[in-house]
Structure 1
């Protein structure tokens, strides 16, 4: 278990392309622009979303119950986020489920994620997040072994500006349930970055320790990559040696090699990895990750860089394919007002 340092997420429809513009992507082993999907569900989540679109909740209930019984915490976490997001836009199916099974641990989990999601988008975020604390607590108490409510609690604590001591207590409770749960680690990394703005080395230290402690096939191997992405897009804090950024990318490449190719499940990690590799001018490796992605783009990280995540992904993908130069300096940051220009934005 990695110890925290002492503390005392709109798609667009791509324009039609002529055969002349599509052919280079095909020759590079990439799908054409109009074949790329944003946030496509996997084969398990897809039917649940389709049923929810018909205001039916049985498929979602079965899906989450299965992840809970089989301790599939990483999948459970991802599915809960997607189902809560769908419920935010189309709430009727979820309200029916909630009325029929108000104490079901899966209902309580989606309800907590939905409440935090809604509050997070409000200008009164801090106050609203404090009001939904009982929902997060109820989800955590409903199924004690489940680490996912604790990931939600960690996100909630960051948004409500909880103190370091309280956050550390939440973190310890989370890792007791699942020492290498990726979602909890990402939440902790983001809290650390937000609380100690500019604490670049502390973020990398935490991420590196967590990855070193985790099995080789754990998604936590991608945590240093998340730290590298934050560094390259933040423009705050001391410079990080090039070697450390390369090491984060190398670790994520090793993880990517263990994951299924052209599959929605690991797509987000490969989207982040392609971006970081491009910024490091490792264009051949970035192109290889795009090939392994297949048609699967994800909102993150591109929604952190543009209001049009799919369009931004396609533009960066095209630059990688064409071998366009990266930023003028490898460490040029400032996607949001940092030290140097970035030609991606």
Structure 2
């Protein structure tokens, strides 16, 4: 669940180049508004913002802005009790419990997570699943509960068959839901029990099965980055340097952000950042420069934290410099 940080574009005094700064979100003003309301336990405003963004327009980012806010788990329980028939409070409770679960687990490797941490992690995920299934039953056309269940499923290790059913339930309701496809791609990565072959096939099928100009072209770039991450030093660079990898990235770019129907909304900047990293690793400096130019110094944590977990902007700057941008 890579989260984007708030950003303000600052121009480099001497170079005239945008200074790389990590952004927290897409720049949608409703994200900041709903996050502030969640921090103030202002359910009336949270509900107003969420209800104004229908499921058909993908309110995932707004939900995570609430779900990632400390303390929501306390006051949302009171709202659920006060509105026993309302699905929206349950959806917020479910999303908050997912984020709260990962707070307990932390980002440490599994071997460094205590048994007590795992118990809290799994307990909160199971609570999230209960809320999300209730929402799915009450609002069968909503996408968000099924997307949330994709994430809880990986944490609870429900297995590939169940994970696939949850993904399919999400995309039946929103065929081009980027988050759902990102979660499923992670599910079938080698590190989660899948394979490189399955991952690449899924990424290409999703990207090129969608109309030109959608965000799903990002999946092809993510798959190559995940493959690179899974290899040892040496073989990783050899893999990314293969001509067919660069060709695959260019084909996906043409079908995605280079397509005339591409619109800069939602996670568009994360898509450009992902292609910038992938093209950099593939040694396609011209294509990388194109992507860096389009991002205008706005850095998303994903995928740059793969290169520098403590300072994604530093990884961005290094690769941008290597690309000659």
- Is TM-score (shorter-chain normalized) higher than 0.5? yes
User: What TM-score do the two structures reach when normalised by structure 2?
Assistant: 0.78
What does residue 77 of structure 1 align with? 60
Compute the RMSD of aligned alpha carbons: 3.4
Aligned equivalent of 1:32, options 3, 19, 25? 19
1:317: how far off? 2.1
Would the aligned equivalents of 1:283 and 1:320 in 2 still touch at CA under 8 Å? no
Structure 1 residue 317 corresponds to structure 2 residue 313: no
What does residue 48 of structure 2 align with? 62
Change in CA separation of 1:160 and 1:51 when aligned onto 2, cut-off 3 Å? closer
Would the aligned equivalents of 1:249 and 1:276 in 2 still touch at CA under 8 Å? no
Inter-partner Cα distance in structure 1 for 2:98 and 2:160: 20
Give the 5 Å matches for 1:97-246. Answer: 97-98=79-80, 101=83, 103-121=85-103, 122=105, 123-124=117-118, 125-126=121-122, 128-193=124-189, 197=193, 199-235=195-231, 242-246=243-247
Would the aligned equivalents of 1:113 and 1:152 in 2 still touch at CA under 8 Å? yes
* 3-state DSSP of counterpart to 1:248: helix
Inter-partner Cα distance in structure 2 for 1:175 and 1:315: 33
1:235: how far off? 1.9
1:89: how far off? 5.9
Deviations 1:15-49 (A, max 9, x none): xx9x9x7422x1xxx3235xx34214412322222
Bigger Cα displacement from structure 2, 195-204 vs 220-229: 195-204
Change in CA separation of 1:259 and 1:318 when aligned onto 2, cut-off 3 Å? farther
What does residue 256 of structure 2 align with? 255
1:243: how far off? 1.2
- List runs of 5+ in structure 1 lacking aligned partners: 1-8, 325-345
Structure 1 residue 46 corresponds to structure 2 residue 8: no
Change in CA separation of 1:146 and 1:10 when aligned onto 2, cut-off 3 Å? closer
Inter-partner Cα distance in structure 2 for 1:61 and 1:12: 23
1:168: how far off? 2.9
Would the aligned equivalents of 2:167 and 2:184 in 1 still touch at CA under 8 Å? yes
Deviations 1:59-115 (A, max 9, x none): 33222212226x112xx11221222112x3666665665565454333222211111
What does residue 284 of structure 1 align with? 286
* 3-state DSSP of counterpart to 1:304: coil
Change in CA separation of 1:206 and 1:180 when aligned onto 2, cut-off 3 Å? same
- List runs of 5+ in structure 2 lacking aligned partners: 106-116
1:167: how far off? 2.2
Would the aligned equivalents of 2:185 and 2:202 in 1 still touch at CA under 8 Å? yes
